[in-house]
Structures are given as C-alpha cells and as structure tokens.
C-alpha cells in the first residue's frame, strides 16, 4: 500500500456542538424509532427462543446470547450501506439478524440442520452470509479483528469507499493480534471501524480485573487511532457515533475505535454460574438502561405509536421467531454426504 | 606478518560470491572499519570492511571476479614496516576448500558443501543429474528448457500471476524495498508498485489474519513468511481461519490464499529457525500443502497455488533457492497440485521424498546405482492431497519402500505414507518400510551435531540395502 505516513493523530477536539463521537445524540424520527424497536426486539425474542431451545436440547455446544446488547449492532448497522462488511466473534446471532440474514436460516444453523446458513456445519459460533456481507461468526477470541482489518484492506486495495466493521469484546481487546491489527490499519489508513462491545465481563472476569486500561476507547492511542466511548444502551447514541465513524472511514482517514458501553443480561454462555456479579447489578441495568425499553418509552411518549401498535410489532416479531424455531426443529439434519463437502474447492 | 583479507560469508548458506568492486587500491592505507570492497551474491550486495589497520599490500582477487569462494584470500594487508615483498604465495585455493576436507569440524559450509554435492558449491551446477531424471509428463515433448534457479522460478511464477490478475498481491516482511529477505521478491516492487507488493511490520499473527480477511473478501493474497518458523505465531489464523472457513460457512466463502516461504533447516541457524512443517500442515483438512524440489516444480506449482481457490501452504527451502534446474520455456507453465513426479524410474526399490529431502535421495540413488540397485525415486511434490496412487503403483512393482525427509520422525510424512502403503499394498511388500527422517531432537547449532541431526546419504543407502537384504 502506498501511504506510509502515520495515521492521523487522535482527534479529541471538542466541537462546539456535541457530535455523535462525544456523547451527542441525534433524535430519531418516527420511522427510525420504530425500525430500531422492531430490529432490537427481533434479536431479543430470537435469543430468548434460542435459550429455550438450548434448554430443550435442540441447540448443542456453546451458545452465547446477545440479550442486553441489541442497541449496539442495530445502531451501527443503520449507518452502513451496501458492500460494507461486518465481522464479529462468537456472540454473533444479533449481528446476523441485524445484517438482514433470515431468522430461519440462523435458527436452523443453531439446531444443526441442513437449511442452516452453513448447512449445519458451523453452528452458533461459525455462521456467514456472503450475500449480506457478514463474514462470521468466529470462535477464536480476537481472530476476527485481524480478519476484519483484512476486509478493510480489500476495500482500500479495490479503491472503493466501503468500510469494514469489526466487533469484539472487552475480553478480546486484550489479545495481541488486536494491536498488530491496529498498527497496520493505522499505518495503511484502512477503512475499518473497531467496535469494542464492552459488556463489562470477559466470561466472568470483569474489565477492572483483566485490563490495566479499562477505557478501551484509549487502546488505539499508541497508533494514533481516534477512539470514543459511546452509550451502547442507547441506540440513538450508537447511531450518531456510527454515522461519524463511517464517514471517517469512507473519507480515507483510517481506522477508528468506538467503545460501546453495554451489558449482557445473560451469562457468558449457557453454562454460566453467574457467581461473578450480583443479581442486583443485572436487575439495575435491565430496569434502568434497557435499550428496548428506552425506545419503547420514547415512542409512547412522543406518540409515534400506540400500545396497540407496539403490540402488533411484538406479535409480528414473535411470529417470525416462532416460525424460525418451528422451522429449525423440523428441518432435517444435514445429509450425511455433507460430512465431506466444502473442505476444499 | 602481513594479514590475509578473506572473502567473507554474508549469510548462513553463502558459499561464494562476486567481488564486484574495490574501493581501495594497492598502497592505500586503511583503518579498521573502512569499507574496502563490495561483494555480491545472488541474494545481496554487501560492503567489506577492514578489520585491521595497515596498507593494502596486494589485491589478490581483482574487481569483477565471479564465484570467489568464501574464505579465499582476496587481499593482503601490510602492517607498519612491512612491504609487498613480505607477502608469501597466496593461499586462495586451499582456503575455499578447507571446510570440505575437514567436514566433521568444519564451519557453516559443512552442510551445504558436504551434504548436497549436486548443489555443490556453485549455483550453476544442475542439482539433479540430468541423465537420470525422468521427463515430466506435464511438460510437452520438445519444450525448450532454460536453466533457472529456484529463486528465479518462484519470482517468475509470482510476477506472471500478478500480471494476469490484479487481485493477486504479495505481503510480508521485507518483500518490497528490501527485495525479499531471501531475494525471492526481487524486482516485484518496481514492476507492480507498493499497492501490490506490501511490506508489513514484523507481526506474523496480525498480517496472516489480514491476508486471510482480504482473501475472504475475494482478493488473492500471497503471504510470505520470512521463514515458516515464524508462522508459528500465525498458525491460528492459518488453521482456524483460512483452512476451516469454507467448511464452517457451508461452502459460501473460503480463503484463496498462499502462505509461502522457506521451511525447514537452512545451515547453522539452530533450533528455533530449523524446523520442517510439512507434517504439521498436512494434518489439516482444508489446506493444500506443496513442497517442491526442482525449479520447474517450484514455478509450475506456485502458479497453481496462486490460482487455487483454497489456502495453500507452499514450503520452500533456503538451501534450494540458489540451485539451478531446467525450467520449461512456456507461456503459462502450470503444474497440477496433488500429483507426484517420478524423478527416476527403477525396478528394485521405491524411494519417496520431497523438497530438500530429494537432495539426499538423488545422491543415494546414484550411489545405489553403482551397486546395481535400481531405485525408483518419486518426488511427492504435494504433501496434501497426497498422490498415494503413484506410490502404491510403484510399490506394487518393487515390493520395497524407503521414505526420506528432513522433518522429525514421529508422525512424519514418511510414517503416514508407510501406514497407508501397508494398508493398501501389504501383500506386495517384501520388506518392512523404512522411514528416514531428521533425528528426534531440536536442531543443534554445532556443525558436527547439526550434521548428525539431519538425514544423510549413507543412512539412505543403508536403508535401501536393508530392504533389499543386501547388508
């Protein structure tokens, strides 16, 4: 790559008005609020159903639910355009739904059936959609950060203005390859948006117990990568930051880090003993900061929709999820011949 | 005493070079550290510094001399009070040959000079005895052959593929401005520019992942590892990301990427820089693993690897880089991955080798021929997918099998071949299969121990005698 100058120094300048990158919020119009509500609700209901199916034995292995973090991926996705790529780790069902992947195909993959996105060969942690530019779904903590940087490399190589969005958690943020990627992304000014989904716990280890610098927005400082903390429970804040970060990437200014302050209500995986945090802490987040309840309250307050209208959305979402669960339970297992397909082309 | 200035070695495997230029003349006085000459190898140009102070009494090797052996006297330095008349007869010839004559305790050149006679000394000597090499059915009869080093063949393969497809690019440490740590990418930056010849930071794990991500997005990266020893840092991305994505995505996306670079032991670089990864990577479904010996195979298979839609591990060898073989002059010479080449036909014993293992095999086959044992030598070329049918067919003919490789003995490529051959051709075997490999030790540094740790021609010869009950 030709440009060899170091990346732009971190810009922490305060503009006169609050922008999305320093906590500003752009109010949503009615249509956007309703869209955000529906998309987040779909993820919530889908994940609740996945949890149920896991308990019933339809889903095996590891299953990491996104409940509580819905605003992050929904707000980000709203700022993207066709051709922008998304890649994440193993807490990935929400990202798939947000990129427009079909609930049926995702759920059928969770149950290991033939019409799952990977024909039952990937499972919860390894799912992809070329059509939706969703590049997985990766089970190795941090690997998606280098891969996502490579997606951005391809954009720059091709000279298009697409951006790659690489999601990773506060746990992955301590992996070495994250910083190797930061260095190259800044060096070559790659259009990548690094999203640190800081849900406060890497499995059961809280950020303060795992991270010498637990303000993850500062983790790009050594490379001159600007970083910002965002209220990841408020979809408007996420969206406002996303719009600016995406513009930064499209303009050829290189990588940017958004630390999304968020929270997962459920355990790390389905077998989480939940000994590392109090029930009160979880309850407080649910009752005071729930991303979906926040949108719902605004919609009702501003009379964008009535209770009945929202119930209709709820029903629509429940129907999609019920249909996906039904499909995923009744879809046949992969043909045994699938064992030996898709190994090499 | 006048001080001899010797031709220096610039790398662990250098045996000779060109004395391109003298920067001092006879009669000039020099201080320690002064640059007195420039020397050039196929890999690099370097300056020679004086290590003592004095006056250049005599220039023994004039500027422009090619193939000057390492340790040959190139000039004589006079100390205070000495004159040209104090200089005795130059000892240039002996100096270069010394390591050969006392190989047991020789310095770094022992391995290269003693173990690979066909490579011997000069890169101009064809490594494979031409008379013995069976023609490759993939090369049309009557094709003009051009003597080419493995190094040039690899570079040509990449350049041709980069010309043909803009999605192909190379990234790695020192591939661009330095022209390649082993000069494999020489000239590519000038032709293709910095967009497509990308110097990376020293960050194997990271740039392997970046390469795989770019491949998932549809580009065709060639990722050069300065050596495969360093790829251990990146092995998670190679295996968990590159090799498995096609399967995990139900065939939606894979990683069309080539990971290439020198593999295995060079010379005197010891444990952390001397390991063969053929068996390691060949364990992994989703990868193809190629390990060529000749320059023609290096070229034809690297072009195939770059076009392959799967991740390909392309294992080269530093000692082979400078060796010259005939390469067919064809517009687009591509060889099939997964097909072995019968290097020499024979009827008594089947010998299977690959990569640098072939250097022992070729030499042993020559010696055995003199003893009246006619070996069929198969160069596997690709480790995965393995062309077992070619091996089985040969074993059915000979009833005997010896494998030769440099890697560690446990779970080696040879033990895999032995397992499959005894399963599929048990009734044809007339003797237990012998697998020759490197010794089960980390590579030692000391010249004599290193020599012991590697396979040698004598044990290959002995193995063949054993399976033919000629001992």
In angstroms, what separates the C-alpha of A193 from chain B's closest C-alpha?
14
Q: How far apart are CA A63 and CA A268, in angstroms?
A: 9
Mean pLDDT for A125-142 is 96
pLDDT per residue over B319-340, tens digit each?
999 999 999 999 999 999 999 9
**A:B CB pairs within 8 Å:** 154
pLDDT per residue over A199-256, tens digit each?
999 999 999 999 999 999 999 999 999 999 999 999 999 999 999 999 999 999 999 9
Q: Hey, are the CB atoms on B253 and A135 less than 8 Å from each other?
A: yes
Is the pLDDT at A7 greater than 60? The verdict is no
Q: Hey, are the CB atoms on B213 and A128 less than 8 Å from each other?
A: no
| Residue of B193, B202, B234, B247 to mutate for A, most A C-beta atoms under 10 A | B247
B338 touches chain A (CB under 8 A): no
| Cα–Cα distances in angstroms (integers) from residue B269 to residues B13, B121, B235, B274, in the given order | 10, 19, 21, 7
Closest CA to A194 of A205, A185, A207: A185
Confirm whether A155 is domain-assigned.
yes
Give B-chain residues touching A136 at CB under 8 angstroms: 245, 248-249
Higher pLDDT, B465 or A20: B465
pLDDT value at residue B52? 83
Is the pLDDT at B97 greater than 70? The verdict is no
Is 0.95 surpassed by the pTM of this model?
A: no
| Residue of B217, B244, B304 to mutate for A, most A C-beta atoms under 10 A | B217
In angstroms, what separates the C-alpha of A210 from chain B's closest C-alpha?
22
Q: How far apart are CA B386 and CA B381, in angstroms?
A: 9
Is the pLDDT at B96 greater than 50? The verdict is no
Higher pLDDT, B54 or B217: B217
Structural contact between residues B312 and B305, judged by C-beta atoms closer than 8 angstroms: yes
Q: Hey, are the CB atoms on A344 and B251 less than 8 Å from each other?
A: no
Q: How far apart are CA A137 and CA A159, in angstroms?
A: 26
pLDDT grade for A17, boundaries at 50, 70 and 90: low
pLDDT value at residue A19? 82
Give how many domains chain A has, as a whole number. 1
pLDDT value at residue A16? 53
For A33, how many CA atoms within 13 A lie in the half-sphere containing its CB?
19
For A136, name the nearest residue in chain B, comparing CA atoms only: B249
Active site residues of B: 204, 273
Is the pLDDT at B107 greater than 80? The verdict is no
Higher pLDDT, B201 or B111: B201
pLDDT per residue over B39-53, tens digit each?
888 777 788 888 888
Confirm whether A124 is domain-assigned.
yes
In this prediction, what percent of chain A has a pLDDT beyond 90? 90
Which residues, in sequence order, are bridge partners of residue B186? Answer: none
Confirm whether A87 is domain-assigned.
yes
Per DSSP, the three-state class of A288 is helix
Q: State the greatest distance between any 2 C-alpha atoms of chain B, in Å, as a whole number.
A: 82
In angstroms, what separates the C-alpha of A61 from chain B's closest C-alpha?
15
Of the partner residues B200, B241, B310, the one whose CB lies closest to the CB of residue A345:
B310
Q: Which helix (H) or strand (E) holds A198?
A: strand A192-198
pLDDT value at residue B44? 74
Q: Cis (ω within 30 of 0) for the bond into B385? A: yes
pLDDT value at residue A154? 98
Range of the domain at A112: 19-268+276-320
Structural contact between residues A335 and A114, judged by C-beta atoms closer than 8 angstroms: yes
Q: Who's near B100: CB < 8 A, 6+ residues apart?
A: B106, B109, B113, B114
pLDDT value at residue B124? 40
| Residue of A106, A144, A180, A345 to mutate for B, most B C-beta atoms under 10 A | A180
Is the pLDDT at B403 greater than 50? The verdict is yes
For B214, name the nearest residue in chain A, comparing CA atoms only: A150
In angstroms, what separates the C-alpha of B284 from chain A's closest C-alpha?
10
Is the pLDDT at A311 greater than 80? The verdict is yes
- The interface residues of chain B toward chain A in range 161-190, judged by CB-CB distance below 8 A, are 169
Confirm whether A326 is domain-assigned.
no
Is the dihedral angle over the CA atoms A211, A215, A216, A219 positive or is it negative? Answer: negative
Confirm whether A339 is domain-assigned.
no
pLDDT value at residue B95? 41
Confirm whether A199 is domain-assigned.
yes
Domains of chain B: 3-78 (2.40.50.100), 145-328 (3.40.50.970), 341-468 (3.40.50.920)
pLDDT per residue over A109-121, tens digit each?
999 999 999 999 9
Is the pLDDT at B87 greater than 90? The verdict is no
Q: How far apart are CA B462 and CA B471, in angstroms?
A: 8
Structural contact between residues A196 and A65, judged by C-beta atoms closer than 8 angstroms: no
In angstroms, what separates the C-alpha of B311 from chain A's closest C-alpha?
9
Give A-chain residues touching B248 at CB under 8 angstroms: 118, 121-122, 126-128, 136-137
Q: Who's near B419: CB < 8 A, 6+ residues apart?
A: none
pLDDT per residue over B360-382, tens digit each?
999 999 999 999 999 999 999 99
pLDDT per residue over B222-256, tens digit each?
999 999 999 999 999 999 999 999 999 999 999 99
Residue A26 maps to which CATH number? Answer: 3.40.50.970
| Residue of A6, A138, A147, A156 to mutate for B, most B C-beta atoms under 10 A | A147
B12 touches chain A (CB under 8 A): no
Structural contact between residues B231 and B261, judged by C-beta atoms closer than 8 angstroms: yes
Mean pLDDT for B131-158 is 87
B445 touches chain A (CB under 8 A): no
Confirm whether A286 is domain-assigned.
yes
Give A-chain residues touching B206 at CB under 8 angstroms: 146, 149, 177, 180-181, 183-184
pLDDT per residue over B13-38, tens digit each?
788 889 999 999 998 989 888 899 99
Q: What one-character DSSP code corresponds to residue A194?
A: E
Q: Hey, are the CB atoms on B216 and A135 less than 8 Å from each other?
A: yes
Q: How far apart are CA A149 and CA A132, in angstroms?
A: 18
Mean pLDDT for A76-101 is 97
Is the pLDDT at A11 greater than 60? The verdict is no
Mean pLDDT, all residues of chain A? 93
pLDDT value at residue B88? 67
Confirm whether A4 is domain-assigned.
no
Is the pLDDT at A45 greater than 70? The verdict is yes
Is the pLDDT at B125 greater than 60? The verdict is no
Q: Who's near B287: CB < 8 A, 6+ residues apart?
A: B238, B239, B242, B243, B281, B310, B311, B312, B313, B384
Mean pLDDT for A45-56 is 95
pLDDT value at residue A1? 46
Q: Hey, are the CB atoms on B251 and A1 less than 8 Å from each other?
A: no
The terminus-to-terminus CA distance of chain A in angstroms comes to 30
């Amino acid at each position: 790559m030709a440009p060899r100058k170091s990346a732009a120094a971190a810009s922490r300048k305060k503009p006169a008005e609050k922008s999305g990158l320093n906590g500003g919020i752009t109010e949503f119009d009615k249509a956007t609020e309703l869209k955000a509500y529906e998309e987040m609700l779909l993820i919530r209901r889908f994940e609740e159903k996945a949890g149920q199916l896991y308990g019933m034995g339809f889903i095996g292995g590891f299953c990491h639910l996104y409940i509580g973090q819905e605003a992050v991926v929904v707000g980000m996705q709203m700022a993207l355009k066709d051709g922008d790529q998304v890649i994440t780790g193993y807490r990935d069902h929400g990202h798939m739904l947000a990129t427009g992947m079909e609930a049926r195909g995702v759920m059928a993959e969770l149950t290991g059936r033939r019409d799952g996105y990977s024909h039952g060969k990937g499972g919860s942690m390894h799912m992809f959609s070329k059509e939706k530019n969703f590049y997985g779904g990766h089970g190795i903590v941090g690997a998606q950060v280098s891969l996502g940087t490579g997606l951005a490399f391809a954009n720059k190589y091709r000279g298009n203005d697409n951006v790659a969005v690489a999601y990773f958690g506060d746990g992955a943020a301590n992996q070495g390859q994250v910083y190797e990627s930061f260095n190259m992304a800044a060096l070559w000014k790659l259009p990548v948006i690094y999203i640190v989904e800081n849900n406060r716990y890497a499995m059961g280890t809280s950020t303060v117990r795992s991270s010498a610098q637990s303000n993850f927005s500062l983790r790009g400082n050594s490379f001159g990568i600007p970083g910002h903390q965002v209220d990841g429970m408020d979809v408007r804040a996420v969206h406002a930051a996303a719009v600016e970060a995406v513009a930064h990437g499209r303009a050829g200014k290189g990588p940017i880090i958004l630390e999304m302050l968020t929270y997962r209500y459920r355990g790390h995986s389905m077998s989480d003993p939940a000994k590392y945090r109090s029930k009160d802490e979880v309850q407080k987040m649910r009752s005071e900061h729930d991303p979906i309840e926040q949108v719902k309250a605004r919609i009702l307050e501003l009379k964008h929709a009535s209770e009945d209208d929202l119930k209709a959305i709820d029903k629509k979402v429940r129907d999609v999820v019920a249909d996906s669960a039904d499909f995923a339970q009744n879809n046949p297992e992969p043909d045994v011949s699938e064992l030996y397909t898709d190994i090499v082309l | 005493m006048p001080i001899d200035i010797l031709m220096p070695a610039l790398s662990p495997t250098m045996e000779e070079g060109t004395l391109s230029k003298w920067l001092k003349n006879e009669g000039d006085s020099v201080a320690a550290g002064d640059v007195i000459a420039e020397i050039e190898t196929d890999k690099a140009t370097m300056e020679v510094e004086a290590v003592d102070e004095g006056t250049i009494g005599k220039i023994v090797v004039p500027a422009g001399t090619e193939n000057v052996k390492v340790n040959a006297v190139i000039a004589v330095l006079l100390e205070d009070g000495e004159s040209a008349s104090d200089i005795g007869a130059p000892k240039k010839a002996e100096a270069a040959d010394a390591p050969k004559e006392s190989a047991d305790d020789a310095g770094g050149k022992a391995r290269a000079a003693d173990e690979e006679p066909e490579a011997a000394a000069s890169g101009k000597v064809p490594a494979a005895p031409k008379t013995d090499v069976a023609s490759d059915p993939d090369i049309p009869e009557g094709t003009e052959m051009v003597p080419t080093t493995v190094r040039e063949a690899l570079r040509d393969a990449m350049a041709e593929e980069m010309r043909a497809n803009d999605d192909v690019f190379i990234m790695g440490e020192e591939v661009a401005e330095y022209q390649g740590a082993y000069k494999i990418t020489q000239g590519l930056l000038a032709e293709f520019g910095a967009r497509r010849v990308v110097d990376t930071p020293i960050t194997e794990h990271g740039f392997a992942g970046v390469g795989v991500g770019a491949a998932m997005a549809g580009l065709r990266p060639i990722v050069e590892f300065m050596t495969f020893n360093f790829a251990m840092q990146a092995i998670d991305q190679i295996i968990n990301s590159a090799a498995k994505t096609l399967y995990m995505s139900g065939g939606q996306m894979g990683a069309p990427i080539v990971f290439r670079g020198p593999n295995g032991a060079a010379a005197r670089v010891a444990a952390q820089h001397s390991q063969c990864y053929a068996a390691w990577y060949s364990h992994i479904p989703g990868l193809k693993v190629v390990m060529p010996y000749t320059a023609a195979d290096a070229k034809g298979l690297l072009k195939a690897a770059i076009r392959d839609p799967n991740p390909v591990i392309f294992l080269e060898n530093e000692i082979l880089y400078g060796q010259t073989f005939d390469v067919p002059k064809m517009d687009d010479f591509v060889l099939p991955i997964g097909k072995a080449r019968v290097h020499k036909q024979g009827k008594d014993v089947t010998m299977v080798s690959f990569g640098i293992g072939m250097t022992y095999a070729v030499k042993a086959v020559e010696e055995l021929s003199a003893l009246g044992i006619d070996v069929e030598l198969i160069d596997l070329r690709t480790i995965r997918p393995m062309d077992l049918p070619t091996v089985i067919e040969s074993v059915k003919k000979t009833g005997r099998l010896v494998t030769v490789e440099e890697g560690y003995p446990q779970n080696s490529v040879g033990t895999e071949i032995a397992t499959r051959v005894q399963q599929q051709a048990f009734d044809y075997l007339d003797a237990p299969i012998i697998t020759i490999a490197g010794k089960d030790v980390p590579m030692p540094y000391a010249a004599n121990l290193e020599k012991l740790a590697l396979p040698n021609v004598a044990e290959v010869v002995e193995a063949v005698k054993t399976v033919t009950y000629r001992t």
